[in-house]
Amino acid sequence: MAYSFFPSASGDPTPEPNRDLVITEFSIDPESNDATFSFEAKPGHLYAIDRSTTLLPASLSSAGWLEIEDSLVAQSEIQSFTDPMIAADHSKFFYRVRVKENASSRTALMYARECEKHLGPLPKFRYEDAIEIPITQNGKQVIVTKENIGKSLKFGDKPAAFGAPYQLGNRVGRYQGIKADGSPNPDVVFVTFFRDGGLGVIGHNMKTGATCFLSIKDEINGKQNLPTPDKPEYDKSWQTPAVVAADGCVKCHMADPFLHSPWIDQVRDPKNPELTLVPLIADFDSPYFVIGKEFPTPPGRKPGAIRATIPKHLEGNKCIQCHAPQCVPDFFNVKLDELKMSAPFHTMEMETREKWVKDREAIREYCQSLDIHYFESENEGE
């Protein structure tokens, strides 16, 4: 049984059963000595887990409740928790579950810790590690200086996918994930994007599909020394997950975590120039889900699903042979018919442009049926 605790007249907490918090299952793994239990929860809400060797009040015992988890976000109505190796010495112990604040009020640090459970330790993100994305005019690169950095040009050869199409000085970076022991994790990648003085980060586990969207606060300059989650000033520099989610990340990052355009794909991987720096990792069945209940499910996907749902009428559609459906809103600078694919897909695009008219139209109709509102103002007056 899980308990909620309220102060008694003597000042000691007196346990009272709370029907909203009920431990439904409890088991011990005889090989690992892990103790695992499940409890009834509300998805998206934040819970704390405490452990004690006695149920006696603090005034009668030197042993009190030890908080062993302070930010467990419920992923479903039955949430599980594992206490590793606790049963090794066969001691008696008790657990209690406490409701904390709703997940929508979580701090940036709370979200970072949740991300690290799926992606491993977050790297130290540096402006100096990122590579400048070139802007060319008639094939000639425009040199970025202190005077023109951040300036938006009127024309260029390759526009950015969205935002200012020809903004000077934007940078993109990439970090390999690491495991808790410091060894490389080839399944995890972090991509940084510096623009307008700010920084956005996408962390992605290519094996599981787990993805995090991070962003520094508007008043923080991306060139400065940015703290990692182990620093006490982390919350002062990074946005809360609720603020990041409100930007509508998943509405644009719909098919997979990374958007590609001829502009950003100019930047190649220094370790293998044949590959783009921003990884081309998606196919129509690639796993992808966003960590954090603050973030809605990407359009066109079923809640809780890690793979895209392909409607029956789109099965066999040639436009989604390589990736899941991706809708292109009006504010994108490259339209569906205008996008020039980068190598190695450019020859395929040239060969099939005229042949895929019906398939492209079917994707357009599908996107319209989703009725995606990219900005809150679109809902005003409805």
Distance between CA atoms of 73 and 52, rounded to whole angstroms?
22
Could you tell me whether strands 289-290 and 210-215 are parallel, antiparallel, or unpaired per DSSP bridges? parallel
**Does domain 3-103 match CATH 2.60.40?**
yes
Distance between CA atoms of 53 and 312, rounded to whole angstroms?
56
Q: The pTM is what?
A: 0.69
Q: Please name which of 194, 175, 177 lies closest in space to residue 185, comparing C-alpha atoms.
A: 177
Lowest mean pLDDT segment, chosen from 81-85, 240-244, 326-330, 372-376:
372-376
Highest mean pLDDT among 1-10, 126-135, 294-303: 126-135
All structural domains of the chain with their residue ranges: 3-103, 108-309+320-325
Distance between CA atoms of 368 and 371, rounded to whole angstroms?
5
Classify burial at 135, counting beta carbons within 10 Å of its beta carbon; exposed 0-12, middle 13-18, buried 19 or more.
buried
**Tens-digit pLDDT profile for residues 52-90:** 888 776 555 556 788 888 777 676 788 889 998 888 887
Q: What φ, ψ does residue 246 adopt, rounded to 5°?
A: -65, -20
The whole-number average pLDDT for the span 231-242 is 92
**Tens-digit pLDDT profile for residues 174-233:** 999 999 999 999 999 999 999 988 999 999 999 999 999 999 999 999 999 999 999 989
Distance between CA atoms of 312 and 309, rounded to whole angstroms?
9
pLDDT at 326 over 70: yes
Does an H or E element contain 116, and which?
Answer: helix 108-119
Q: What does each C-alpha distance from 208 to 110, 188, 354 come to in angstroms? A: 21, 9, 36
Average pLDDT, the chain: 82
Cα 7 to chain centroid distance, Å, stands at 39
* Model pLDDT, residue 335: 66
**Tens-digit pLDDT profile for residues 1-35:** 333 333 333 333 333 444 457 888 999 988 888 89
Task: Beginning with the edge strand found earlier in the chain, give each strand of the sheet holding 23-28 in spatial order.
Answer: 23-28, 35-40, 78-83
* Model pLDDT, residue 15: 38
